[in-house]
Structure 1
């Protein structure tokens, strides 16, 4: 970061959480069988050097908010060390996007084009690639945006020019492998989108979230001169993936979403459905691939979701088997748990106790290994799985290195060095006792799928309190008394309520506080427990009378500003940072509201006083919101407040007056998306700030720290891990080990360097 020194030495190390996010695409090295690349909707690009069993992130050099939201990628068949990636997202109905190029196998990337908008976490994320390298002309690359049209590079991605094609929603872009100069581009209609991204408005009219209507028909375009001129070949179904029959250059196969698998005998002009043997009703199809060893064989899979009970667990189908009728698809196997190995234990929870019931959810890509006959790969909601026997059995390698989880909250154990508890979307909390190198799971509760805020008891290190988020926007506070036991829901909450933060009193053991957000009339507010979290009562805290929800500007803050996926309110979990307890005074607690203020109670919640006057609430626009508060660990009356856009502020007199602490450079923007306060060896506050990159203010991903209460600052090097969306950060009880959590990239651990 400009203006402050950067600390050298130990770098961030990724935690071993075991994947857990949506892998939306997979490509194989053209010359090395064991080298694979995977893309993720929120976590960027990963590489495997051992055939898909272990992975490492390849996001070096990236800094912006949307660079990890990858919609498509490609590898050059001529120079395999050259890769391309298309990333982007949308905020406030405005799309952004970049094409990046790597010349070193994905270790580092640089931006080469910004003319197209991409939607890496959007409704077409699970479909075909929209960037492709010409197999006949090494210098020619084509890319089609979610917005912005289709562009061509004729110098290996260094410069780009837009083609005459209209601005449609491209679902696949592909060069014909057998006809030099022939390029195809397929588009996706409004009606064929993932319906999670659409809603029905007045009069039954389909309205697209964050998008504008593009038409009710998909189209297939073709160019025989590398993109100079185009012809419309076909209109009707949407084209999610396009494949070419190696036995007949005029025969094309396409995955056409709700129209299923279709084939064309004449180069794409006329199409017919080829669905014999496949489940049809209510199924999306986004992937189809030919087996290069036995080219009469093709593979496909419907995009199965949890509610589709009638579809096989791993719905992988094959056509062209010996003895089958021409064009008929057959299920490879009715899989059970014995057919699966190396899948993480948490998948049992999602499959209702059966791992096989979850292993086939949302299959996005199928690959038939071009070097090893019978070896197949599939990507889905959890990671990458490998089959060495044509799909009969599958191994996932525990998804080692595919750290794609969405996390927000991290809490350190008060008495145990190296122990932290983290919460995450779609999973119960995880605990590490070695600084983040390995984890074990806390128990979940049926009906609740994700975890939010968390705290570890000071007097009993085996007692955990955490928030769980359930189906139908319900939530609860759960208590687990020992590592191998069960969790109990001690405070069930109604629809719309959410456990935003949990804290133990800074002095009195067994006294806890909870921040519950949502509709005020339904019970949003501050709760307390005096018996170790077993029973709860609402305190006297009441927000200003004009507020009917907490947060007050709920849609803007949760759906636009802080969410990892635009529009998905409460997509991940609680930030756990707007509730604080003083380590010096019993019953002294702080609560912050994103845009409306900070309040303090000095009697355990019976009375409250506003102390937020003078802070920059929305001073620099709607993005200037409070995101973290904390008490000093060394000075009884010192308080910290971290803001998106406006950085870190502090008060030395209990909140009567405030001043800015970081950054002090005029015009410098910094998002305090995570704040940790510890104690340095010399008894001064040790401060750690993490800044989430955001489109709204153009910030990069950064981490800075100070050993002297904010007088001097250093930046931590993180160029090798890319544009991490930091959401929570914590010191362990000794102030030596640090664990940071992110939305999309899991967790990272680091040791604080010794003082020089």
Structure 2
């Protein structure tokens, strides 16, 4: 979900390689390959499910990943899907220059004879390919393994009526996995084996007919007849049922194998970092080391929030890949949920370099401190909020609360710089409003919400002491709506706002907004949809509150929520179909009565008469699509407007950021093509209008100084 990264210092730090990409699914990378003949030639397979279809593309780079171009669109891939933790599905022939093979999640298996410039579909059926591999010692020999319905890795999906496959927007493919063999670079194929699923293949460098496979729930298996028959290789591996997605042979030590089960927090009886080694061809395995925290270095502090504070145990979660360095003896790389860790002693100790450059968090919102330059707070999936006081250079955690794993909305107080109010969300769609009154040292829940409710936004009334507002989404019958606090956020009462009678939930089109259009993936509800932008308080007048609902309207209160006026007439709600929805609202900090409304597909709109009439402000070209997903407004001589566009599968527009220094009369388009198809979820300027911080779905946060990029 964040694209491709490169390290030039042995994994100590990383940089993104997404230049030239522009569609919403282009960062959802399922697989990656480097040409052994020309290391500057790279391939990536990306795609995702939206609208009942699985889309995808193969991209090629000929300059080491600086720029990419699409070379094949015949296959669908599921980069952040149920096979995301398994093997590579694109491979470059190590013997014959120019031959590349790729197997899709949909669309079958394709082969290119000319470095990816042209592609042809092979005769293989359309299955979920889990690994594609050329034999390193036998020219022309190509293997392709598939994954059955029962081996999809989806512990974290929210499965409702219709079952897992429907939630994934997938179709039944059968319960069995298969292994296919071609001996002529994919021109013809034979079915070797049917039964277990294949996530990764490993070839024994001493015996060409000997293969090893990570078979997910089928464990680690070995074949001595080139893949025709398989037997379990489980001696010494953990007892019980575990998934295996990786098995490798150490490149500098023939005969030494490594594997790791896919451990999760609820698993018991596993070592903290469950990496196992075998020196006898998989006949027996031993745990490399039972790690303690002192065996780890350079891991970020946020990992202390997981697994009871054990960084070692957290680093052992969800290991998807182990790689042995081909040149450095005993050097291993381990990839899991958090990043890439490095070992120089065969897995006895691990270091991480702080995961520099791998800040791939799915973020929800960003707000600027109203008084302190360079200070921002951000919220994100799976983490409590974080605060930076140096414009995004470094961050510290605000306290989490047991039972809640992620954060949604947040507000920083103008009158009390030690007060933070923020929304938290937990498993089972539980949520609360939390408050810290001591500068972030401690926090407590002050408003617990019924299951299924969600803190969409939190705002302070900058003109009314101790007054805060909260926008709560969920079932209207359970209390969804706008709440107000008159005592600094400690106690809350629901205001008079009630949506139109036909609206039973906020959002009204809940499934469409929360699991299809805005979310990071279709199988998770309300994950990285963006928060904190559909509620605003007037910086020029007390008690004036602006509230937006994605598809149903916009309302204004001039008395602190005691009464509400609909002001959405003239705005493009659903004007060009279901994608034309509201994403952000704001007051002008400079001109009384001036309001702004951002729409997916329809861009930015403005009213200069408290919402009585509206006109489009950007873009003005006929038919132009701009998914205005984030807006920040700063007061100088005129309103400074910075507007971000999120690329979406359902509403195609390239990722972009535009800026106006004259209240929207003229606009500058910033060059962010090197960032690729970044999915913007929030953007904020600090109180002096100098430092800018933008947050994204999957690519973390980006910082900039306005003066350095706006001219």
Q: Secondary structure at the match of 1:44?
A: coil
1:387 Cα offset (Å) = 0.9
Closer/same/farther in 2, CA of residues 67 and 658 from structure 1, 3 Å limit = same
Aligned to 1:476: 432
In the alignment, is residue 191 of structure 1 matched against residue 150 of structure 2?
yes
Asked if residue 534 in structure 1 is aligned to residue 490 in structure 2, the reply is yes
Listed one character per residue, the Cα deviations across residues 547-589 of structure 1 (whole Å, up to 9, x for unaligned) are 2110010000110000011131122365100001111211000
User: Does the 8 A contact of 2:168 with 2:522 survive in 1?
Assistant: no
- Residue 590 (1) aligns with residue 590 (2): no
* Structure 2 residue 511 is matched with structure 1 residue 555: yes
Q: Is the 8 A contact 2:49 2:168 kept in 1?
A: no
Equivalent residue, structure 2, for 1:140: 99
Match of 1:524 in 2: 480
Q: 1:115 aligns with which of 46, 59, 74?
A: 74
* Number of the residue aligned with 1:449: 405
Please state how far the C-alpha of 1:281 moved relative to its aligned partner. Answer: 2.5
Task: Write the distance in 2 (CA, Å) between the matches of 1:463 and 1:299.
Answer: 49
Aligned to 2:127: 168
Task: Tell me the equivalent position of 2:675.
Answer: 721
Deviation (angstroms), 1:653: 0.8
Corresponding residue for residue 18 of structure 1: none
| Alignment pair present for 1:434 and 2:393 | no
Q: CA deviation at 1:77?
A: 0.7
Aligned-pair CA distance for 1:198: 8.6
Would you say the 8 A contact 2:519–2:529 is kept in 1?
Answer: no
The alignment partner of 2:707 has SS state of: coil
Report the aligned-residue RMSD: 1.6
Q: State how many pairs are aligned.
A: 709
In structure 2, what is the equivalent of residue 710 of structure 1?
Answer: 664
What's 1:291 paired with? 250
Q: 2:604 & 2:630 partners in 1: Cα distance?
A: 10
2:357 corresponds to which of 401, 406, 429 = 401
Deviations 1:312-360 (A, max 9, x none): 2111011117xxx971111111111111111111111112121122110
Q: Deviations over 1:468-523 (max 9, x none)?
A: 11122111111112345111111111211111001011311321101010111112
Say yes or no: does 1:698 pair with 2:657: no
CA distance in 1, matches of 2:433, 2:655: 32
Aligned to 2:684: 730
Shift of 1:205: 9.8
Q: CA deviation at 1:536?
A: 1.2
The runs of 5 or more residues in structure 1 that have no matched partner are 1-41
Q: Structure 1 residues 158, 205: closer, same or farther in 2, change over 3 A?
A: closer
Q: Is the 8 A contact 1:117 1:146 kept in 2?
A: yes
Q: Is the 8 A contact 2:414 2:462 kept in 1?
A: no
* Paired residues of 1:458 and 1:509 also in contact (CA < 8 A): no
Taking the TM superposition and a 5 Å limit, the aligned residue runs for 1:597-636 are: 597-636=553-592
Normalising by structure 2, report the TM-score: 0.98
Q: Which deviates the most, 206-215 or 61-70?
A: 206-215
User: Is there any run of 5+ residues in structure 2 with no aligned partner, and where?
Assistant: none
Q: Does the C-alpha gap of structure 1 residues 730 and 199 become closer, same or farther in structure 2, counting only changes over 3 Å? A: closer
Alpha-carbon distance between aligned partners in 2 of 1:572 and 1:656, rounded to the nearest angstrom: 32
Q: Deviations over 1:379-421 (max 9, x none)?
A: 0010011111111111111111112000020000001111111
2:167/2:523 contact within 8 Å kept? no
Separation in structure 2 between the aligned mates of residue 483 and residue 441 of structure 1, nearest angstrom: 11
Q: 3-state DSSP class of the match of 1:259? A: coil
Give, in whole Å, the separation in 2 of the partners of 1:225 and 1:568: 42
Counterpart for residue 462 of structure 1:
418
Distance, in Å, in 1 between the alignment partners of 2:84 and 2:96 is: 27
1:570 partnered with 2:529: no
CA distance in 2, matches of 1:430, 1:589: 26
Q: Are the structure 2 counterparts of residues 568 and 484 from structure 1 closer, same or farther at C-alpha, using a change threshold of 3 Å?
A: closer
Give the distance between the partners of 1:331 and 1:175, measured in 2 at CA: 30
Question: Deviations 1:269-289 (Å, cap 9, x if unpaired)?
Answer: 111111111125331100000
Q: Give the equivalent residue in structure 2 for 1:66.
A: 25
Contact 1:387 1:393 survives alignment (8 Å): yes
Distance in 2 of aligned mates of 1:79 and 1:477: 54
Q: Are 1:499 and 1:574, in contact at CA under 8 Å, matched by a contact in 2?
A: no
Residues 484, 543 of structure 1: alpha-carbon distance in 2 compared, 3 angstrom cutoff:
closer
| Aligned twin of 1:246 | 205
Write the distance in 2 (CA, Å) between the matches of 1:208 and 1:471: 18
Give the drift of 1:462.
2.3
Distance (whole Å) between structure 1 residues aligned to residue 438 and residue 61 of structure 2: 48
Considering Cα pairs closer than 8 Å and 6+ residues apart, tell me whether 1 or 2 has the greater RCO.
1
Q: Does 1:51 align with 2:10?
A: yes
> 2:32 aligned with 1:78, yes or no?
no
C-alpha contact (below 8 Å) 1:501/1:574 kept by paired residues: no
Specify the alignment match of 1:19 in structure 2.
Answer: none
1:221 maps to 2:180: yes
For each residue in 1:81-123, what CA deviation from the matched residue of structure 2 results, as whole angstroms up to 9, or x when unmatched? 1111001111012111111111121122111111111110000
